[in-house]
Amino acid sequence: MKKIIVANWKMNPATLQSAKRLFDSIKKATKNLKNVEVVICPPFVYLSNVKCPYTAEPSGLRQMSNVKLGSQDCFWENSLKNRGAFTGEISALMLKNLGCQYVILGHSERRQYINETDEMISKKVEAVLKNDLRAILCIGETKKERETGQTKKVLKTQLKKCLKKIIGLPARFLANLIVVYEPVWAISPNGPCSVAEALEGILFIKKNIVQIFGQKIGKKIPIIYGGSINSQNAYEFLKEKEINGVLVGAASLNPDEFISIANQA
């Protein structure tokens, strides 16, 4: 399985000029990497300005380069529903028409600051998959939940609730699901967790995914790790066969750091 390296820029950088510069340096240095899928997720406002060559295909715009474009969220309704009367929201269809192929969903910062619930996330996962985009679903326990021995219970519940609306979808849609194990306490500047802890979470998620979707589909769903990954620690995680990639926040804003991580995959 190709390692998936995702750059989550969060609410950065502050200007379009810096966003373009960052995007172009990463694209230039990683576009020819083999066996790695590099996904860059800038804020919505920069998505149509960063250059990613794409072709029009019946299922949507497909990027030609090895570097793919992703967004950090989307709304669950289509723009066509209710004449798009969802002020301030961005649909999966809009993202697809722009050449986006990936959407990060359920990030803990959105759960924490925007009060996103598993139910909302489940609707978003469904909308993203039904639009032939890849959903990068984040799950993970908080420090308190870990300290009180609830990690497995939390992961199981988040998976069950966030995937509720896609159970029974045809395999071709489910093939576009990616799950990130991102312990909230391991996000920078606090983390990372140890490789053993990451592996334990990832194997538990894999087991549950197989229970939910069955062996044939479940085994093919990539599970990646997120939380304080940088050029110094990336290899420790990436060398593990069961860790199918990494989601990188702070270090993805430094092109040298992020390029080094992608190279180590």
Residues annotated as catalytic are: 107, 182
Q: What is the DSSP letter of 84?
A: G
DSSP strand pairing (60-63 vs 67-71):
unpaired
Return phi, psi of residue 263, to 5°.
-65, -30
Instruction: By CB under 6 A, tell whether 250 contacts ligand PGA.
Output: yes
As a whole number of angstroms, the distance between CA 208 and CA 132 comes to: 24
Cβ at position 10, least distance to ligand PGA in Å = 7
Amino acid at position 176, single letter:
N
Which is closer to ligand PGA, CB of 36 or CB of 248?
248
Residue keyed to tokens 């967004």: 71
**Considering the rule CB under 6 A, would residue 63 count as an interface residue with ligand PGA?**
no
Binding mask 133-172 for ligand PGA (x = CB under 6 A): ----------------------------------------
Q: In DSSP terms, which residues pair with 224 in a beta bridge?
A: 180
Closest approach, Cβ 192 to ligand PGA, in A, equals 7
Place of tokens 């924490």: 112
Q: Is 247 in the site for ligand PGA (CB under 6 A)?
A: yes
**Closer CB to ligand PGA, residue 33 or residue 187?**
187
Q: How far is CA 201 from the centre of its chain?
A: 17
- CA–CA dist 87, 12 (Å, integer): 23
Which of 132, 112, 135 is CA-nearest to residue 62?
132
Of the two residues 4 and 212, which places its CB atom closer to ligand PGA in the complex?
4
The single residue listed with the structure tokens 């479940």 is 218
**Residue from 12, 97, 188, 263 in contact with ligand PGA (CB under 6 A):** 188
Q: Return the residue nearest ligand PGA (CB atom).
A: 249
Please, which residue, 171 or 256, has the CB nearer to ligand PGA?
Answer: 256
**Per CB under 6 A, 187 contacts ligand PGA:** yes
Q: What angle do CA 156, 158, 159 make, to 5 degrees?
A: 65
Q: Closest distance between ligand PGA and the C-beta of residue 250, in Å?
A: 3
253 belongs to the binding site for ligand PGA (CB under 6 A): no
Give me the least distance between CB of 248 and ligand PGA, in Å please: 5
CB 257 within 8 A of CB 230: yes
**Per-residue contact track with ligand PGA, 201 to 230, x per CB under 6 A?**
-------------------------xxxx-
Is residue 175 within 8 A of residue 181, CB to CB? The reply is: no
**Binding-site ranges for ligand PGA (CB under 6 A):** 8, 187-188, 191, 226-229, 247-251
